[in-house]
Amino acid sequence: MKLIFICLLQLVSLFALAQNGVIRGRVTTEDGEPADLINIVLKGTDKGTVTSSSGEFTLSGVTAGKHQLVASGVGFVTIDRRVTLAAAEVLTLNLILQENTHQLQAVEITGRQEKTYKNDVSFIASKTATLLKDVPQAISYVTKEVLRDQGAFTMGDAVKNMSGVNQFTFYDDLTIRGFRMNGGSTTQLFNGLRTFSGFWKQPPVNYLERVEVIKGAASALYGNTSPGGTINRVTKKPLTTTQKSLMFTTGSFNTMRVLADFTGPMNESKTLLYRLNLGYVNAQGFRNLQFDKNIIIAPSVSFLPTDKTRINFDLVYNKSNSRLDRGQSVVGNDLYSSSIATSLNAVNDHLNEETYLITTSLNHQFSQSTSVNMAYLRTGYSEDLLEHRSSNVNGIDSAGVAVPNLVARQVFVRQTKSFMDNVSLFLNHTVNTGRAEHKLVVGYDYIQSSTPKGSGQQTANGYLLKAGGAAAYNARRPDLYQFYNYTSNGVTRSIPKPNVSHYDLTLQNNQLEDVTKYTYNVTANAATTPVFYSLHGLYVQEQLKLNRFQVLLGLRYDTYVDKKGYTTTAESNVTQHAVLPRIGAVYSVTKNINLYGTYTKGYNPQDAAVQSDPTTGGPFDPIRSSLTEFGLKTDWLDGRLTANASVYDITQTNTLYSANAANNPNLLLQIGQERAKGVEVDVTGNIRPNWNLIVTYSYNDAKITDAGTRAADQSLVNLQKPNAPKNQGSFWTKYTFVSQGLNGLGLGLGGNFVTERNLSLNNTQTIPAYALLNAALYYRIDKFQCQVNLNNLANKTYWVGGYDYLRLFPGAPRNFMTTVSYTF
């Protein structure tokens, strides 16, 4: 009897199992990529699993009836879906995860899942996780996917995809809406915190998630910033999924790059995540004697002890060995009289740099509506330089007349160190009052920057004196100088003997120089003068949303303290204060179209080293600016493509420019007022999942409108500002074939154009317009991809910027780069 009962139970169990069903499916992100390691559970049951690397999951033995299926993962909005399963049914689901744009992090701590050209969220524009379309200010960006597809490695490669951003020189030196912003200043951001770079080198981008530019002054949140815009470099953060990639690049100019990117969880609970980016670069470049070697180490660790607390540590270390390239010189006004490869270096010149950026950040959520964010960034930079460079003038004969093919040279021997600390603390609070939603931000910043005592420079220049030593040539007293004979075009001239040999553009005389033979002077300049300044900033911001209408109100109070005569017995504090308002509004016309307007004010204290240098002509008043901007932000094709446009008007007063004085190259002019008015258009995203597109255009009328009170300066009025093209634009598109016969093959095509630009403050020296065309070919087989980038297909001769015809910065001729990558 007992046996019969057991058999009956087994039959009932088998019947019940036969009536149970299966829930299976696939989880993808919004861009169609599979989402692995996503938790899939049925509420109220012991059924659960995680998705595979292809995003697939299966739940077997599920009883018939109604169930609550939950799909969750860090960085995504949780899906909570009610499903009904019939007896013995196999239910197939396709789940699409949306990135969580309202996470704790306002300082980005964990990596983001987006893998397309399009970015939806801004953290830096409002210090809250805000959709870009809801920010009442223009923001341009370039994602890591764009940089990868274009084979980009430096910031100069990245910014050509942004409207209104143009190179000024080879260096970390840009104009944004016609206003110069360079890495040697302290008005750029790194993960939303104030930093600087060494100026001479464009930072690499292999460890970056994206590059962002907040157009117009970002002063209400960050204090003294450029009125044209502020660049923010966002580093790659750890992901909850394991991803590893290796990339090898070789190509023109003896280029070799080896890059690695590893990320994933360090424990089973995924509360400890890591990311490690490594890079080795060795390239010579198309310019004579130029080379660049870089070692890049960029680890990042995120600790998530609870769902309310996140801690992150970032380090970027870059060791660079190169020569400092001061640009091309030409004969007279003939831009094509010398090769674009012409440089004035000696064989034994060097520029050795070390840069580190260390970031620690904490984000804690007290409640669903209140969180605190704390972050600290330490920046360190050291420079060891020996260079032969132009003295910014031609060599002269005994009568003091310039010899067009001779470039006077000087030698700098310099060692210096600089440091910066940035502490940021701010509180986010969200509250609803009736139908209105409020996002409040209250914060405090402390920034200090120093060039300590111990830096130094020796300079060799001028002409040799009979009595010994060297000095600038005085044509009225040639009897004081040594001379030699110089023959050019069959004509023999008597030439004062230079301390450092002239560079003859007809001979291209690059050689190993004996630097011990020169007569040196110990000189002080902006790079070696001991400097210390600090900045305290208090700010408050309100984002109000009421139905379709949003308002952003911000106010910041800055106290800037500069230690004049730093490290001397005459050291004293020079204190300045600034009140910086920001007003913006957004109106949602439809779910796809937002209109916005904004008004901000900005300021910049003059550089401390410039103020203390008596040869500059200072002291100078602070720079003041204001921005008025209107625009629209739209998205199309189910959010895959954005198209934005803006109209702006920027006014700035008290800007410093070189006076171009032959007898004092350090002399500066403080212009009364300059104004930039323009239009910008940016289109970014995917026409189809396999078809990416970027299109940009800008018109920028950036002129000096008031040259002050000196009659000699009035000719500057209505001149287009230096290296600020009136028109520029770019496009880039990538198409990946999905048909069976061509699956894995991709094509890329792009280009950019820039119209004529002025050099320095005059309209007699200009550099011509140019238009370039680039292409790329991709082929992927499983985890391998081969990529070939072809740049400047028409082999155009062009110049990206410059100061004058003795310091021009040419662009690269036709070149190619081949990359093989492996992802595992």
pLDDT of residue 47: 84
Q: Which residues contact 103 (CB under 8 A, 6 or more apart)?
A: 75, 129
Q: Taking the CB of residue 226, how many other CB atoms lie within 10 A of it?
A: 28
Q: What is the per-residue pLDDT for 112?
A: 64
Its pTM stands at 0.84
The list of the chain residues with pLDDT below 50 reads 5-6, 8-17, 101-104
Return the pLDDT at 247.
97
CB burial readout 359-382, b (16+ within 10 A) else e: bebbbebeeeeebbbbbbbbbebb
- In the sheet that holds 56-62, the strands lie side by side as 56-62, 21-29, 90-97
- Give the pLDDT score at 377: 97
Query: What homologous superfamily is domain 234-459+522-823 in, according to CATH?
Result: TonB-dependent receptor, beta-barrel domain (2.40.170.20)
- CATH 2.170.130.10 maps onto the chain at 121-233
My answer on whether omega of the bond before 619 falls inside 30° of 0, hence cis, is: yes
DSSP-derived pairing of the beta strands 309-322 and 350-365: antiparallel
Residues in a beta bridge with 699: 679, 727
Q: How far apart are CA 823 and CA 730, in angstroms?
A: 30
Residue type, 88: A
> Where in the chain are all domains bearing CATH 2.60.40.1120?
2-97
**Cβ–Cβ < 8 Å for 736, 756:** no
Residues of the chain with CATH 2.40.170.20: 234-459+522-823
Q: What are phi and psi of 516, to 5 degrees?
A: -80, -15
User: What is the C-alpha separation between 507 and 499, in angstroms, rounded?
Assistant: 19
Report the topology of domain 2-97.
Answer: Immunoglobulin-like (2.60.40)
Give which of 768, 669, 805, 758 is closest to 392, Cα–Cα.
Answer: 805
User: CATH top-level class for 121-233?
Assistant: mainly beta
Give the per-residue pLDDT at 584. Answer: 96
Are the CB atoms for 312 and 326 separated by under 8 Å? no
Length of the chain: 824
The pairing of strands 21-29 and 193-195 is unpaired
Instruction: Provide the pLDDT for residue 661.
Output: 66
